[in-house]
């Protein structure tokens, strides 16, 4: 038997077991095999087999070694497909986690890859880098910082992760993703260079996905001769591959919390130690107000290496005596990110002897952990315009489409989901009520990695959704045209079963909330959840109806019911409304005067939704 046939036979046996497992998970209590309800479960499980076979097709596709590409003839999608082969296989990733050795060797390996690519550490010093880490808000902080400095007429580079729709979003010049042509040319140049410099004695001949893109960003920024590069840390800081940067101009740490705990540690203090790893001797660094424990860790890390660390004053202090600052990103939590960005931008300008960096105001010294307070200054017009004009898709983003309003926020930690809920509820309070007909609230959710989905879903309960929809971060069942969305670091079995687990968590939380003894509060507070109740003709149900779909496209088709003027896919697949909840819910959604959809839990989920709702992002 050929190896491929053997693997396929093993996979088919696993799929058969998967169908039975899915039936067990989908079936409500008391349903038995052969009962009518089990047909729905089998239909759902069988629909997953289509996606599973798609996964097999993508995994069995010949790689670059079988079909070498020429940089002159290869397309952008050829480059993306080859890049995807550098993603870590899921089983191997688990093995690495169990057998992780000295993290310092990861940085040494990155330095070797840099040398093999034709660059030295000294070359990176030319990029005038602003290095930013944090648990939540680091991407938004980077976006604010880049836009402020671009408003001064500077040529900017910006490296961020993850991407939402296309991988080239991760590398930006003057705020715009690099072109497909530039991406393709640089990809193959770097790929072939690394192929040519393989060392037979080395156990790893090619850098993994994120390392490759980091190297590529450095090469592009140098060739494009940017005035500065804003570089967002991938995960952590101390051992992140971006931390081969030796001489940044300034560093920043946004709000800290629990995330990537299997890699960074299970307390905020341990995570703070990792984040403080980007501090460099003599390089100024800034952070926002943190809980006492992690702030003390950051202070100690900075003192150990003689890094001057400053605490950012709140944005209100900078607004005092001047006009209120308008932010291009919605949400109260963005004010903290904007305050950090202003300090990073001003410090960079000051270090580079630029004029017009804002007049200093009198301020009181900080007594917080004996950490000096960053300057309180009057933001310049360039700074004000930069904050106002900042765009960062997928973060507190609103799309209004006829009766549908899509609220997109890639929050995926406890603290960021709390901020997301505050933003969503505030947005609903400020809405204009529709003329006639009910309003419906829908949650579209997914969560990945080592995050606690039950904790995140519990935070979303006060939003009083009528429907909770769960799906994996797969835009379509078919892989055609979705190379940018592929993720080989998890198996399809894992992501689909996780969606069912999310549904189970939601159902349990619904039952707990329905209990009269659950909440001690005798009634809703003024301006609280009661102010978000929908029109009387559609009262909030005691239990939220929930559904699981096999991909994002099917979920959006059910939610929108053809009423989004932009998202107009072909006729829905057979069986999309077979489930009783899907059928009855479709009627409600078709008759609703307004539908408010919150998409959250994962930036990758938000990216897949944007790919379908904003086709121009795929151009």
pLDDT band of residue 449 (cuts 50, 70, 90) is confident
Give the contacts of 180 (CB within 8 A, at least 6 positions apart).
Answer: 76, 168
pLDDT single digits (tens) 404-429: 999 999 998 898 999 999 999 999 98
pLDDT single digits (tens) 188-246: 999 999 999 987 655 568 899 999 999 999 999 999 999 999 999 998 889 999 999 99
- Token code pair at residue 490: 């998890």
Per-residue pLDDT at 443: 98
**Three-class SS state of 399:** strand
Per-residue pLDDT at 608: 95
Per-residue pLDDT at 540: 47
**Three-class SS state of 526:** coil
pLDDT band of residue 293 (cuts 50, 70, 90) is very high
Question: For the residues 38-64, what does the mean pLDDT come to?
Answer: 34
Question: For the residues 451-478, what does the mean pLDDT come to?
Answer: 92
Give the contacts of 110 (CB within 8 A, at least 6 positions apart).
Answer: 207, 211, 214, 241, 244
Per-residue pLDDT at 51: 32
pLDDT band of residue 95 (cuts 50, 70, 90) is very low
Query: Is pLDDT at 247 greater than 70 in this prediction?
Result: yes
Q: pLDDT exceeding 90 applies to what percent of the chain?
A: 59
Per-residue pLDDT at 532: 30
Per-residue pLDDT at 263: 67
Choose between 249 and 2: higher pLDDT.
249
Q: Cα(464)–Cα(444) distance, rounded to whole angstroms?
A: 13
pLDDT band of residue 524 (cuts 50, 70, 90) is very low
Distance of CA 184 to the CA centre of its chain: 24
pLDDT band of residue 259 (cuts 50, 70, 90) is low
| Mean of per-residue pLDDT scores for the chain | 81
Question: For the residues 119-133, what does the mean pLDDT come to?
Answer: 97
Q: Cα(208)–Cα(204) distance, rounded to whole angstroms?
A: 9
Determine whether the annotation assigns residue 432 to a binding site.
no
pLDDT band of residue 47 (cuts 50, 70, 90) is very low
Q: Cα(311)–Cα(298) distance, rounded to whole angstroms?
A: 11
Q: Checking DSSP bridges between strand 250-253 and strand 156-159, what pairing results, if any?
A: unpaired
Per-residue pLDDT at 525: 34
Per-residue pLDDT at 366: 57
Spatial contact of 610 and 399, defined as CB atoms under 8 Å apart: no
pLDDT single digits (tens) 565-599: 999 987 777 777 777 888 899 999 999 999 999 99
Determine whether the annotation assigns residue 409 to a binding site.
yes
Choose between 618 and 588: higher pLDDT.
588
Q: Cα(524)–Cα(542) distance, rounded to whole angstroms?
A: 16
Q: Checking DSSP bridges between strand 129-133 and strand 250-253, what pairing results, if any?
A: parallel
Query: Is pLDDT at 467 greater than 60 in this prediction?
Result: yes
Lowest mean pLDDT among 81-85, 270-274, 442-446, 483-487: 483-487
Q: pLDDT exceeding 70 applies to what percent of the chain?
A: 75
Q: Checking DSSP bridges between strand 176-177 and strand 171-173, what pairing results, if any?
A: antiparallel
Per-residue pLDDT at 492: 76
Per-residue pLDDT at 342: 98
Lowest mean pLDDT among 61-75, 108-122, 324-338, 526-540: 526-540
Determine whether the annotation assigns residue 260 to a binding site.
yes
Per-residue pLDDT at 602: 94
CA atoms within 13 A on the CB side of 47: 21
First to last CA, the chain: 44
Per-residue pLDDT at 42: 37
Query: Is pLDDT at 521 greater than 50 in this prediction?
Result: no
Question: For the residues 290-308, what does the mean pLDDT come to?
Answer: 95
Q: Which of 163-167, 266-270, 480-484, 509-513 has the highest mean pLDDT?
A: 163-167
Per-residue pLDDT at 365: 57
Encode burial over 336-347: b for 16+ CB neighbours within 10 A, e otherwise. Answer: bbbbbbbbbbbb
What is the value of pTM for the model shown?
0.80
Choose between 53 and 607: higher pLDDT.
607
Q: Checking DSSP bridges between strand 176-177 and strand 359-360, what pairing results, if any?
A: unpaired
Q: Longest C-alpha distance within the chain, in Å? A: 80
Question: For the residues 445-470, what does the mean pLDDT come to?
Answer: 93
């Amino acid at each position: 038997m050929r190896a491929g046939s053997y693997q396929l036979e093993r996979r088919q046996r696993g799929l058969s077991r998967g169908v039975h497992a899915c039936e067990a998970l989908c079936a409500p209590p008391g349903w038995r095999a052969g009962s009518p309800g089990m047909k729905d479960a089998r239909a759902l499980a069988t629909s997953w087999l289509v996606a599973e076979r798609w996964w097999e097709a993508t995994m069995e596709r010949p790689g670059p070694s079988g079909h070498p590409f020429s940089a002159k003839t290869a397309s952008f999608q050829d480059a993306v497909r080859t890049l995807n082969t550098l993603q870590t296989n899921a089983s191997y990733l688990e093995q690495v986690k169990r057998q992780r050795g000295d993290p310092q060797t990861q940085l040494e390996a990155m330095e070797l890859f840099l040398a093999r690519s034709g660059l030295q550490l000294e070359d990176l010093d030319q990029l005038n880098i602003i290095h930013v880490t944090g648990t939540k808000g680091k991407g938004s902080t980077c976006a604010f910082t880049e836009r402020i400095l671009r408003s001064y007429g500077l040529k900017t580079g910006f490296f961020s992760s993850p991407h939402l729709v296309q991988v080239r979003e991760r590398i930006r010049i003057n705020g715009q993703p690099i072109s497909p042509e530039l991406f393709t040319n640089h990809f193959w140049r770097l790929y072939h260079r690394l192929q040519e410099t393989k060392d037979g004695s080395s156990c790893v001949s090619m850098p993994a996905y994120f390392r490759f893109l980091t190297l590529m960003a450095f090469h592009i920024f140098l060739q494009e001769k940017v005035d500065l590069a804003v570089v967002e840390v991938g995960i952590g800081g101390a051992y992140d591959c971006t931390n081969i940067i030796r001489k940044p101009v300034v560093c920043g740490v946004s709000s800290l919390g629990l995330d990537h705990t299997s890699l960074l540690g299970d307390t905020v203090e341990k995570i703070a130690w990792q984040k403080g790893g980007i501090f460099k001797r003599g390089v100024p660094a800034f952070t926002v107000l943190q809980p006492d424990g992690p702030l003390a860790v950051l202070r100690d890390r900075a003192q150990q290496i003689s890094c001057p660390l400053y605490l950012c004053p709140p944005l209100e202090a900078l607004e005092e005596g001047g006009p209120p600052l308008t932010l291009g990103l919605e949400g109260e939590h963005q004010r903290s990110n904007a305050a950090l960005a202003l300090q990073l931008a001003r410090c960079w300008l000051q270090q580079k002897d630029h004029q017009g960096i804002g007049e200093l105001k009198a301020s009181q010294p900080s007594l917080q952990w004996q950490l000096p307070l960053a300057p309180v200054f009057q933001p310049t017009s360039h700074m004000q315009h930069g904050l106002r004009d900042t765009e960062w898709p997928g973060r507190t983003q609103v799309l209004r489409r006829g009766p549908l309003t899509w609220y997109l926020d890639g929050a995926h930690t406890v603290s960021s989901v709390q901020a997301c809920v505050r933003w969503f509820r505030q947005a609903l309070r400020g809405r204009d009520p529709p003329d006639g007909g009910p309003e419906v609230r829908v949650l579209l959710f997914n969560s990945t990695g080592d995050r606690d989905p039950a904790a995140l879903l519990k935070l979303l309960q006060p939003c009083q959704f009528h429907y909770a929809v769960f799906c994996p971060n797969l835009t379509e069942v078919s892989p055609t045209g979705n190379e940018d969305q592929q993720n080989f670091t998890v198996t399809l079995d894992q992501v689909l079963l996780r969606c069912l687990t999310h549904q189970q968590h939601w159902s349990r939380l619904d039952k707990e909330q329905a209990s009269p003894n659950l909440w001690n509060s005798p009634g809703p507070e003024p301006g609280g959840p009661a102010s978000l109740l929908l029109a009387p003709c559609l009262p909030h149900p005691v239990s939220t109806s929930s559904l699981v779909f096999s991909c994002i496209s099917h979920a959006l088709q059910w939610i929108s019911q053809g009423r989004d003027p932009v998202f107009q896919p072909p006729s829905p697949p057979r069986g999309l409304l077979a489930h009783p909840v899907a059928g009855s819910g479709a009627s409600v959604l078709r008759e609703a005067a307004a539908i408010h959809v919150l998409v959250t839990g994962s930036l990758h989920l938000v990216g897949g939704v944007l790919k379908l709702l904003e086709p121009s992002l795929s151009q």
